[in-house]
Amino acid sequence: MKKHLSMSLLLVFTLINSVLAQTQTVTGKVTAASDGSALPGVTVLEKGSTNGTTTGLNGEYQLTVSPNSVLVFRFIGMSTLEIPVNNRSTVNAQLETDQKVLDEVVVVGYGTQSKQTITGSTASLSSKDIAETPVTSVEQAIQGKAAGVFIQSNNGKLGQGIQVRVRGTSSLSASSQPLYVVDGIPITSENLSGTSAGTNPLADINFNDVESIEVLKDASAAAIYGARASNGVVIITTKKGKSGASRVNFTAQWGTSEPSRHRDFMNAEQYVQTMQRAGQGAAVQDFAAGYFETLEEAQDYYTSYVNGRLTRYSAGNEDWLTGAVNTNWEREAFQSASQAQYDLNFSGGNDKTTYYISGQYLDQTGIIVGNAFKRYSGRINLDNKVNNILNIGMNLSFANTQNDRVANDNAFSTPIQIVALSPITPIIDPRTGLLSGSLPGEASTYPVYYNPLLSVDNASYQTNVYRTIGNIYGQLKLSESLSFRSEFGLDQLNQNENSYYGQLTFRNTGTQNGFSEDGYTQVLNYNTNNYFSYKNIFNDDHSLDVTAGMSYQYSKTNSNLVQGQQFPSDAYRQISSAALISEGSSRETQYSFLSYFGRANYIFKNKYLLTASARVDGSSRFGSENRYGFFPAGSVGWIISEEDFFQDINVLTNLKVRASYGLTGNADILTDGQINNFASLGLFSGDAGYNGVAGQRITQIANPDLKWESTAQLDFGVDFGFLNDRLTGSFDYYRKNTRDLLLNVNVPATSGFATQLQNLGKLYNQGYELTLNSENFIGEFRWSTSFNAAYNKNRVTDIQGQVLGTNDLNRVIEGQPIGVFFGKEYAGVDPANGDALYYLNTENSDGTINRATTSDYNEAENVILGNPTPTFTGGLTNNFAYKGFDLSFTFQAVAGNKIYNGGGQYMSANGSNGFDNQTADQINYWNQPGDITDVPEPRLWYGNGTAASSRYLSDGDYVRLKTFSFGYNLPKNLISKFKMQKARLFMNAYNLFMVTGYKGWDPEVNADYQASNINLGVDFYSAPQPRTITFGVNVGF
Amino acid sequence: MKLLNRIYIALLGVGLTATLNACDEKLDLSPANTIEQSEALLTSQDVKSALIGAYNRLGVSDLYGGRIFLEPDLLAGQSAIAWGGTYTGLTQIYSQSIPTNNTFVSNLWISAYEAINLLNNVLGSIDKVDTEDRDRVEGEAKFLRGLIYFDLVRLYGKAWNDGDPATNLGVPLVLTPTSVIDEESYVSRATVVAVYQQVLADLTDAKVKLPASNSFYANSYAASAILSRVYLQQGDYQNAANEATTVINSEKYQLVDNFADEFPYPGAVHVDNTLEDIFAFQVTPQQGSNSLNEFYASSDNGGRGDIEIKSSFIAQYEEGDERTSVYYDDAGSTRTSKFDNMYGNIKVIRLAELYLTRAESNLRLGTTIGDTPLNDINKIRTRANLSPATTVTVQDVLKQRELELAFEVGSFFHDAKRTEQSIGTLPYSSPKLVFPIPQREIYANPNIQQNQGY
């Protein structure tokens, strides 16, 4: 059957090939209608073909076309002009200035399409939206700029995991990150970190090479990516050269970052007072429990115990009595962080060949001590027209990133956990003159915890990534309307993670005399796309655009790790010097996708639009019975403004309505945060040895019925333009119904398995998106505004009555959004005795809720406490330009979410959970009967009010000035003396200020060590975002 | 049309043929780090490897990596230990206020049944084991299953002597391997009696089938020793004394000369069982874990130092008792050095306990099975460098038991339960002194009934 197919295809090509061609040469000059000046770089196309050229410096062109063809002249910022050749040999063109940029061509899956005729929902961003943003990765640069695309960094560490959600989270146990396609090739984007703090493989991409970013949001746009598209698709297209003079562009910027916010902790006096009070609180409880004969005995015990500890944490002296030492440890976690970035690119070409060559060096220091990120990257994009029918090209990028990392948020050694140290502890131990916690000294019990500053000089943890992403393509014009494109892409990622923990870190590693890990991960990911494109117009009114083809992707990951302990001294850091090799392993996993896809766009009279697409995906991740999934989509559009009856309406210049419906899938099954490629199998693992004897264990229960998770999405949209398109925008309503959730279902653990991966459950995301763009002023003073806002409602509708969740409060419950905070409702403090109280929230016999309070945590019912995901997200960008000056800034906002301070049980624990320093607000603790406060009585180790509850929840709304840039272009007549085309001085700022009610470091947070689809909105000693200001210069030759 | 173009198109045809042939078999990928269950238990070697895996799974930190002994002591040992750690789940246990979602309680349950399922897989494939090894493999699997069910029923069910064990709920008894999740997976809790019967059946069968010597794996004396502990918990003193005598009379084990030598710490390295150890979970840098080290040892010795020993407890040792040598001052905190070796084995049972069990049983029965209570108790006293006693009461034995075995096997909790001693102000039968059934299990299985008080 397959052989027959290929034979017949061959036959078809041969027939097509026999169309006779007759050609002539046309020359001409393109000028601007406004002032008659020559326009270089105008695209001149033979209509309905890919045959084209661009005008030279003097605006002139030459092109070989058929005598009765139509020439299309296209230039950004000008209205497109079509002129029939009519056997002429000279065709000049005058282009009108046009504010109407709607008719630009945008990249879609496996092709391009005129934006005006698109019936799907996409968000488009161009290089100018992201250029020179002083951040590490591309998602950070587009934060707040695309409606319905929610982007959130886990914390302020560099190069770390970022959550991107297109129209909400549509999976529970499978990945919810979008598919990333760079120049047609799906790239490796999953976290490869060896620790629970995720890293971001997109940080290997120099986003200054990016020409455009399209986020495909609805089924019509995304379904051509079928099984990969439920979470949206981000299509990144890199820059290409343009024929004409060679251009050189150089940009350099330098700047510094500091933490965007600080958090206040108790000073020495407050700390001593609280801890002593906590001892007395515990004495009363101990006596009541019968552990002491008399209250006095209990009090004496605790006085001596607490004072002994205070002396210990005060470096063994009694300075704590006088407040002589008052260390603000919080400030010690941070540093003023410098950064530098250099970008150089060359582009140009001629009629046959164009090129874009770039290089970048980025050197960022983190605001967290010990954190840094460096990137060296290069790119070559080449395109060559071999002859009239064959184009070939390549895109190749290579990068080396070096990330000096700090431990995950849950580690004693992560710098922010330094806040747990006592303010009575000096930074330098006066007994040794060394950093507190250093040897010699009482380093195992002093200070209260491991001092993270010891890791700065005595430990290192570097992740080095070598990344090559490249593809080659050939495009064959089989006839005027039919072409075939073949692409082969390779994404190769080599990662080395190397860490060393010196002798002074023993309290953190639990290992004397040094500890080291070294691991390599290699991901080989290759992909081929082969497809036909057919474009034609019949009888002037019927336009047809068909794409059909196949793709195959294969990815294999190999990794190994070796761990050593016992080094002769800290001077030896390689594992060859370790006396004990404590661990070694190697791993391999792989997956493949085989897919067939097709799409047809039909346009009638340029106003009635119809698109249908379908994809069949086969995946190695499912058993042979359920291996293939079918993902169709269809959409319709009506450009009302093209109707005759509309031509008299002058205010509303453009109006299009559209609707789409379709199915997409998801197969990125996650187990413990890693992609599970073999989730349907019952598995044994041989990693269960015992005292050196090999053993095996059972790791996974089979589910041969496992199949694709699928999402059906409905979208209604309207695109509009007012006042000659000075104000444009679009509005969308969508509903995404996800069913057959790939879910780690809790099964009775008595079976030997805690969970089984099943297709169980349903959820939906429903929302609205509004995008507005306006040119407020045009002319010498220009002011434009972009606004986007999105509302998303996420609801889990069916998980068969289960309650899922593993951390303190995030749960999955039917009728609630994913990860909803569910637990005990804190009711403040009993004025009579200082007990923490909780609302019972039990149901009375009459159906009402019992709002009485209890001090017994277990007696209180668990109730819904809030949504961890913002329901509203938005952004507002303003661009101003006057003469040589330009100013641009973007506000980003989220609302409707709560944040849980997972560290509250330690840092805001009213001294009831040990000797951690407390947040400053804890000084308002209950002290004596009658006190009205919401901070319970301090009772050392009694955990009074420290269990997970709404006590540690706060509103997460914020508005942030995300990016700000101000630039000045030196006058042309000045710089032309130096043969420069462009010289711009600029200042960029990132996270300049924020308005929020959140009391923690930063409301843009999700504790890295536990972040998942379900574990959301948790702050756990998470680093705040940096506030960065850079100054730079951009010159072009 | 130029010739060149025809060549391109011909090449395209060839390329298409090649790609379209690249088909379905490209989707047949197999895991490399794991194997499918259908290939896992085919040979005698496979089944033996699964048995080794069961030792590994029982040795995880939540079980015999130490926490199965640590957690009951936290719940009942407030007179001896001061908890000062930041694991909220353990603070909840120490303060005798355990929410049903306590992660430690939940993880212990999950880990235990994971190991039980592996053991059931071994027993379900026992006919594949070579005949010469079959009894040994079956014996070890049953020993391990009996051991873990005994600890589960003592933690998640009421004490044997608390009310009617024939109606009190224990834990679900799962005795066959799980290959699919179906209706049979939704089990109910068996009674305390039913679980004890299964424990006794498994251990008795193990005792018969196991060899007398079996390297560091369970042997028949290990089965007798655990049987002795089970009978004592049930107040079946006759059988407790008999089984203890079986082990003592074998003369396979002996008390080490110096008490501190029972807890060797030549460095952070694996150490083989001592002469006194009857059964211990092996810990090496590569395999096994030592959670007693994690919580009791100072950070100098690789622990978190979360638990301090109260001076009032140490004051109970008589003057000159050499057993106080396992306590030391760590910058003002008193700690025990019993677990200072982070790669030290987790002792499940050692000979000293059997002398104490036999002495108590004989005293309660008024018998001298094996030897007199005075002789037995003086074995313990003499080794501790104390003068021999001339008389002995049950209280004396219980005191020696507390001082001898402190922190090792959860005896603060289990002994208080069987001797019906109050813990602080709570009576031994308080529902707060029984673990809750994990909330996740209640959610996942509607047939599971929660314990009283939760």
What's the pLDDT score for residue B10?
65
Question: Are B403 and B323 a contacting pair, CB within 8 Å?
Answer: yes
**Contact status of A628 with chain B (Cβ, < 8 Å):** no
Q: How does pLDDT run across A952-964, given as a tens digit for each residue? A: 999 999 999 999 9
Task: Name which of B339, B337, B344 is nearest B285 in CA terms.
Answer: B344
What is the Cα–Cα distance from B251 to A395, expressed in whole angstroms? Answer: 78
Question: Is the CB of B99 less than 8 angstroms away from the CB of A857?
Answer: yes
Three-class secondary structure assignment of B355-400: HHHHHHHHHHHCCCCCCCHHHHHHHHHHHCCCCCCCCCCHHHHHHH
Question: Are B225 and B243 a contacting pair, CB within 8 Å?
Answer: yes
- Within 8 A of A619 by CB-CB distance, chain B residues are 27
What's the pLDDT score for residue A222?
87
What's the pLDDT score for residue A269?
96
Q: Which of B86, B128, B174 should one mutate to test binding to chain A, selecting the residue with the greatest count of A CBs within 10 A?
A: B86
**Contact status of A336 with chain B (Cβ, < 8 Å):** no
What's the pLDDT score for residue B301?
87
What's the pLDDT score for residue A98?
62
Strand partners, A614: A598, A632
Q: CA nearest A309 in B: which residue?
A: B332
> What number of H helices and E strands is found in chain B?
16, 7
Strand partners, A697: A685
- Within 8 A of A390 by CB-CB distance, chain B residues are 5, 8
Give me chain A's average pLDDT, please: 90
Percent of chain A with pLDDT over 90: 67
What's the pLDDT score for residue A976?
86
Contacts 24+ apart (CB under 8 A), A807-811: A807/A902, A807/A1010, A807/A1015, A807/A1018, A808/A900, A808/A902, A808/A948, A808/A1018, A809/A865, A809/A900, A809/A948, A809/A953, A810/A868, A810/A900, A810/A1014, A810/A1015, A810/A1016, A810/A1017, A810/A1018, A811/A1014
**Contact status of B425 with chain A (Cβ, < 8 Å):** yes
The CA-atom distances, in angstroms, between A826 and each of A806, A853, A947 are 21, 9, 10
Question: Is the CB of A476 less than 8 angstroms away from the CB of B180?
Answer: no
Question: Are A892 and A141 a contacting pair, CB within 8 Å?
Answer: no
Residue stretches of chain A with pLDDT short of 70? 1-22, 76-77, 98-103
Question: Are A559 and A520 a contacting pair, CB within 8 Å?
Answer: yes
Task: Name which of B63, B211, B87, B83 is nearest B147 in CA terms.
Answer: B63
DSSP B60-91: STTTTTTHHHHHHHHHH-TTTEEE----HHHH
Question: Is the CB of A17 less than 8 angstroms away from the CB of B9?
Answer: yes
Window 324-353 of B: residues touching A by CB (8 A cutoff) are 330-333, 342
Three-class secondary structure assignment of B224-246: HHHHHHHHHHHCCHHHHHHHHHH
Kindly give the confidence (pLDDT) of every residue in chain B, 454 residues in length, as a single tens digit, with 9 standing for 90 and above: 456 666 666 666 666 655 555 566 778 888 988 999 999 999 999 999 999 999 999 999 999 999 999 999 999 998 899 998 878 899 899 989 898 989 999 999 999 999 999 999 999 999 999 999 999 999 999 999 999 999 999 999 999 999 999 999 999 999 999 999 999 999 999 999 999 999 999 999 999 999 999 999 999 999 999 999 999 999 999 999 999 999 999 999 999 999 999 999 988 889 999 999 999 999 998 899 999 999 999 888 888 889 999 988 999 999 999 999 999 988 778 999 999 999 999 999 999 999 999 999 999 999 999 999 999 999 999 999 999 999 999 999 999 999 999 999 999 999 999 999 999 889 999 999 999 999 999 989 999 999 999 8
**Contact status of A390 with chain B (Cβ, < 8 Å):** yes
Question: Are B54 and B118 a contacting pair, CB within 8 Å?
Answer: yes
| Residue A793: Cβ-neighbour burial (10 angstroms; 0-12, 13-18, 19+) | middle
Domains of chain A: 23-98 (2.60.40.1120)
Strand partners, A554: A526, A592
**Contact status of B314 with chain A (Cβ, < 8 Å):** no
Tokens of A96: 């009108």
- Please report which helix (H) or strand (E) contains residue A649, including its range: none
Q: Which amino acid is at A142?
A: I
Q: CA nearest A528 in B: which residue?
A: B19
**Contact status of A756 with chain B (Cβ, < 8 Å):** yes
SS3 call for B122: helix
Residue with tokens 């196991």: B210
Tokens of A476: 């064959």
Give the alpha-carbon dihedral of B401, B407, B413, B418, to 10 degrees. -20
Residue A281 neighbours by CB under 8 Å, 6+ apart? A834, A911, A912, A937, A938, A939, A940, A942, A944
- Within 8 A of B56 by CB-CB distance, chain A residues are 688-690, 695, 697
Q: CA nearest B283 in A: which residue?
A: A691
What is the Cα–Cα distance from A199 to A461, expressed in whole angstroms? Answer: 13
Question: Is the CB of B441 less than 8 angstroms away from the CB of A749?
Answer: yes
Window 533-592 of A: residues touching B by CB (8 A cutoff) are 550, 552, 554, 565, 580, 582-583, 587-592
Q: How does pLDDT run across A376-403, given as a tens digit for each residue? A: 999 999 999 999 899 999 999 999 999 9
What's the pLDDT score for residue A675?
82
**Contact status of A699 with chain B (Cβ, < 8 Å):** yes
Question: Are A943 and B99 a contacting pair, CB within 8 Å?
Answer: no
The CA-atom distances, in angstroms, between A884 and each of A776, A965, A975 are 18, 14, 12
- Within 8 A of A857 by CB-CB distance, chain B residues are 97, 99
Tokens of B137: 């493999």
Tokens of A400: 């080396």
Task: Name which of A704, A702, A703, A699 is nearest A684 in CA terms.
Answer: A699
Give how far the C-alpha of residue A186 lies from the chain's centroid of Cα atoms, to the nearest Å.
16
Q: Are strands B81-83 and A353-365 parallel, antiparallel or unpaired?
A: unpaired
Separation of first and last alpha carbons in chain A? 57
What's the pLDDT score for residue A77?
67
SS3 call for B136: helix
Question: Is the CB of B113 less than 8 angstroms away from the CB of A756?
Answer: no
User: Looking at CA atoms only, how far is residue B355 from chain A in angstroms?
Assistant: 29
The CA-atom distances, in angstroms, between A366 and each of A192, A370, A373, A686 are 21, 7, 7, 41
Question: Are A1019 and A996 a contacting pair, CB within 8 Å?
Answer: no
What is the Cα–Cα distance from A49 to A894, expressed in whole angstroms? Answer: 45
- 3-state percent helix, strand, coil for chain B, nearest multiple of 5: 50, 5, 40
- Within 8 A of B303 by CB-CB distance, chain A residues are 510
What is the Cα–Cα distance from A19 to A127, expressed in whole angstroms? Answer: 40
Tokens of A757: 């991966």
What is the Cα–Cα distance from B454 to B451, expressed in whole angstroms? Answer: 6
Q: How does pLDDT run across A1006-1037, given as a tens digit for each residue? A: 999 988 899 999 999 999 999 999 999 999 98
What is the Cα–Cα distance from B408 to B404, expressed in whole angstroms? Answer: 9
Residue with tokens 């799962």: B174
The CATH number, out of the four listed (3.40.50.20, 3.30.360.10, 1.10.357.10, 1.25.40.390), of the domain defined by the range B40-434: 1.25.40.390
What's the pLDDT score for residue B8?
65
Task: Name which of B110, B84, B387, B394 is nearest B232 in CA terms.
Answer: B394
Of A289, A751, A914, which is closest to B178 when you measure between CB atoms? A751
ipTM of this complex = 0.93
* HSE-up of residue B342 (Cα within 13 Å, Cβ side): 19
Query: What number of other Cβ atoms are within 10 A of residue A705's Cβ?
Result: 12
